[in-house]
Chains A and B, each alone.
Chain A
Amino acid sequence: MSSIATTRIQRELKDIKESNNQSIKIELKSDEFNNLRGEIVGPSGTPYQDGMYKLSIKIPETYPFNPPIVSFDTRIWHPNISSVTGAICLDILKDQWAAALTLRTVLLSLQALLSAAEPDDPQDAVVAKQYKDNQKAFVKTARFWAQYYANAPGPRDTDCVEKLRKASEMGFYKDISLQALSTHSWDLENAIQYLTSC
């Protein structure tokens, strides 16, 4: 790894610790500076509120002249993040990256993205469509995912719990059932039909 990248990462880790912002965290995965683990807290006033989202951060050899490669390890229901792979669609992680940006700004931008989705530039077409056509179902799903995967506190939606239980009882894996139910805006019949057809 280049010396600039290493000093930059060391410096950035120190700065984040000192900034005392409880809602973002970055730590080394091992002794290597090219593989980091990040964590952000879901911003309040959103379905993601108080969820703990783990991120995988890969630092390229040419950092900071090229952007870090960031994806969600914790599954999330959001138009700009793939509900399957965790891949993120965010301009500063692509062509808008600037050498003067830092991981801290990336994490803060991701928090901002959770607060304000950009459904016209979607990463996950299914989620984006639901976001635009059926806000109610979207909020319900995003909240349930936050509780289910990101340990967001609070009572879970009984309708969701019930339907997920029914689907699992029919022998489908829970993750797959949840994906199918979410995709079909919690229409159990459609979801089951989808699950049996594939």
Chain B
Amino acid sequence: MESDDDYYEDDIDPDDYDDGHNFDNEDVEVDEGYLGESSVDARISSYNPDLGDDDPYPYECLSADKVVGLMNEIIREVNDIVNIPSTTLRILLAHFNWDKELLLEKYYEYEGNQERIFAEAHVISPLKSKSLARRKSGRSIEQACEICCNNYSSSFMTGLDCGHSFCKGCWSQYLCTKIIDEGMSQTISCPEFECDIIVDDAVVMNLITDQKVCRKYQHLITNSFVMCNPLLKWCPAPDCHHVIKVEYRDKRPVKCECGREFCFDCGESWHDPVLCMHLRKWLKKCDDDSETSHWISANTKECPKCQVTIEKDGGCNHMVCRNQACKHEFCWVCLGPWDPHGASWYNCNRYNAEEAKKARDLQESSREMLQRYLFYCNRYMNHLQSLKFEHKLYARIKRKMEEMQQLNMSWIEVQFLKRAVDVLCQCRQTLMYTYVFAFFLKRNNQSIIFEGNQADVEKATELLSEYLERDVTTASLGEIKQKVQDKYRYCDSRRNVLLRHVHEGYDKDWWEYIETS
């Protein structure tokens, strides 16, 4: 198989090893020590050579601690200009959605009447709170806590600058309820009826002893800071507490230190070539239709010949019935026989409009819409499912690589296998989103070219997948290496052709979209 595009040199830079998928997928761990380095070192940028995209997109990956540092930096900056205690400032900034310019603007606009800014943010003005000194007299008389109705010595009673005081036990339970049950952080007010003075972070940290609650509180504060800031976004990977910071907002891929690559604009996995808007519509549709399409995502299907249930546990679509008496070979996606899939005339990727027309004559058009949707959904789900198995493939290939190294191949020499799996996963990801793109696409001359490109990648990807899953043995290593490299290079180049064509279409307004309900 030859590519009509330039190969690029991919033999093998050891530094390359970690920039793709993490090999030991089971233990992706983030090394805190690394994050401690200066932010300049942590600065990375995405540059996608595939797309001839030559303006790099600069961004940083920040740990939660760094985000806290960023917050404190802003507080310090404002504090240098206006002298307000940092606890109060934090509440003021939160009130202005962390827009320090807006805060300063208002602060000077209200010059002479700055009480107003504090009142609006529900804090007692630090300018006058001294006169209102907290009720902490030397008298050691007992005071009744209005919440628990017990009497305590005044040293056990505490409160905010509004002067309402409660016992420390009640305070801490009150704060726990607000933080843990209601997820509140910088909007918790004094427990007194009709008192809206906000509890500052120093008071919270003083009164809460439970570390779990403290962490939750800090996380909530950090979270509201990130949510307010259009240049920050949480990594969407579950349990990943990293934040990506960009210099300007764009629909571009960013990659977290945990390995998750996502679209900065919409936060979904990086979804080239489909637009954020279409992806959002699509995901919503999948959600709404989850009942109809549920069967599609199921991991089992019946052999079209003998009806034995077959479970899919790898990414390859070339299925061989496990019933020894049948051994029927078929395509997981279309359930058609596998044979023609290798032939050039066979299209498993394109929804056949001729067929659809026939169907339309027989059935309602809404039914056709559903079928159309199911058609694309089926192909989308198929790649999604295969991607979920990618760690299995990585593990298997890793074992293969170890075997090969025992047969006197060097570490560097066997890296082609990992590279092949990387390309396979990239292709599946791209294909998956091209079906979303195609779902919204109106048929025209360019869309036919697109479908041709898509079919090419689809076919090449399945060939590569199949080869990796069953044909890689340790026999005749040199030959295998050549074959694998040929296959993945072809896949990669066809993928680039496919993507470039869609991007060109965006630039030149080729694409027309169907109306969807």
- Distance between Cα atoms of A2 and B148 in the complex (Å): 11
Q: Are A99 and B149 in contact (CB under 8 A)?
A: no
Q: With contacts defined as CB atoms under 8 Å apart, how many contacts are there between chain A and chain B in the complex? A: 46
Which residues of A from 80 to 112 have beta carbons under 8 Å from B? Answer: 92, 96, 98-101, 105
- Given the known interface contacts A62-B181, A100-B146, the answer about A4 and B170 at a Cβ–Cβ threshold of 8 Å is yes
Which residues of B from 112 to 155 have beta carbons under 8 Å from A? Answer: 146-150
Chain B nearest Cβ from A119, distance in angstroms? 23
- Distance between Cα atoms of A8 and B169 in the complex (Å): 13
Chain A nearest Cβ from B419, distance in angstroms? 56
Chain B residues contacting A194 (CB-CB under 8 Å) are: none
Q: Are B181 and A98 in contact (CB under 8 A)?
A: no
Chain A nearest Cβ from B499, distance in angstroms? 50
Query: Residues 362-381 of chain B: 1 if any A CB is under 8 Å from the residue's CB, otherwise 0?
Result: 00000000000000000000
- A interface, by DSSP: helix, strand, loop or mixed? loop
Interface residue? A135 (CB, 8 A) = no
Interface residue? A7 (CB, 8 A) = yes
- Distance between Cα atoms of A4 and B148 in the complex (Å): 6
Identity of the chain B residue whose Cβ is nearest the Cβ of A15 in the assembled complex: B149
Q: Are A7 and B181 in contact (CB under 8 A)?
A: no
User: Out of A7, A65, A101, A105, which one reaches B149, CB within 8 Å?
Assistant: A7
- Given the known interface contacts A7-B150, A8-B148, the answer about A65 and B177 at a Cβ–Cβ threshold of 8 Å is yes
- Distance between Cα atoms of A105 and B97 in the complex (Å): 36
Q: Are B147 and A99 in contact (CB under 8 A)?
A: yes
- Given the known interface contacts A4-B173, A62-B181, A66-B177, the answer about A100 and B148 at a Cβ–Cβ threshold of 8 Å is no
Q: Are A98 and B150 in contact (CB under 8 A)?
A: no
Which residues of B from 262 to 287 have beta carbons under 8 Å from A? Answer: none
Q: Are B191 and A99 in contact (CB under 8 A)?
A: yes
Which residues of B from 385 to 441 have beta carbons under 8 Å from A? Answer: none
Q: Are B147 and A100 in contact (CB under 8 A)?
A: yes
Q: Are A98 and B177 in contact (CB under 8 A)?
A: no
- Distance between Cα atoms of A64 and B167 in the complex (Å): 14
Q: Which bracket fits the contact residues of A? A: 10 to 19
Q: Are A98 and B148 in contact (CB under 8 A)?
A: no
Of B192-200, B218-226, B230-238, B252-260, which binds chain A? B192-200
- Distance between Cα atoms of A105 and B146 in the complex (Å): 13
Interface residue? B174 (CB, 8 A) = yes
Q: Are A98 and B194 in contact (CB under 8 A)?
A: yes
Q: Are B170 and A98 in contact (CB under 8 A)?
A: no
User: Out of B173, B177, B181, B193, which one reaches A100, CB within 8 Å?
Assistant: B193
Query: Residues 42-82 of chain B: 1 if any A CB is under 8 Å from the residue's CB, otherwise 0?
Result: 00000000000000000000000000000000000000000
Interface residue? B164 (CB, 8 A) = yes
- Distance between Cα atoms of A64 and B147 in the complex (Å): 7
- Distance between Cα atoms of A53 and B294 in the complex (Å): 52
- Given the known interface contacts A65-B177, A99-B170, the answer about A8 and B191 at a Cβ–Cβ threshold of 8 Å is no
Q: A8-B147, A12-B149, A105-B193 are in contact. List 8 more A-B contacts (CB 8 A).
A: A2-B173, A4-B169, A62-B177, A65-B177, A98-B194, A99-B166, A100-B164, A101-B193
- Residues of chain B touching chain A, judged by Cβ–Cβ distance below 8 Å, are 146-150, 164, 166, 169-170, 173-174, 177-178, 181, 191-195
**21 pairs from A and B in contact (CB 8 Å cutoff):** A7-B148, A7-B150, A62-B177, A64-B147, A65-B177, A65-B191, A66-B177, A66-B181, A92-B193, A96-B193, A96-B194, A98-B191, A99-B147, A99-B166, A99-B170, A99-B174, A99-B191, A100-B147, A100-B166, A100-B191, A101-B193
Question: Which A-B residue pairs are the 4 nearest by beta carbons?
Answer: A99-B191, A11-B149, A98-B193, A65-B177
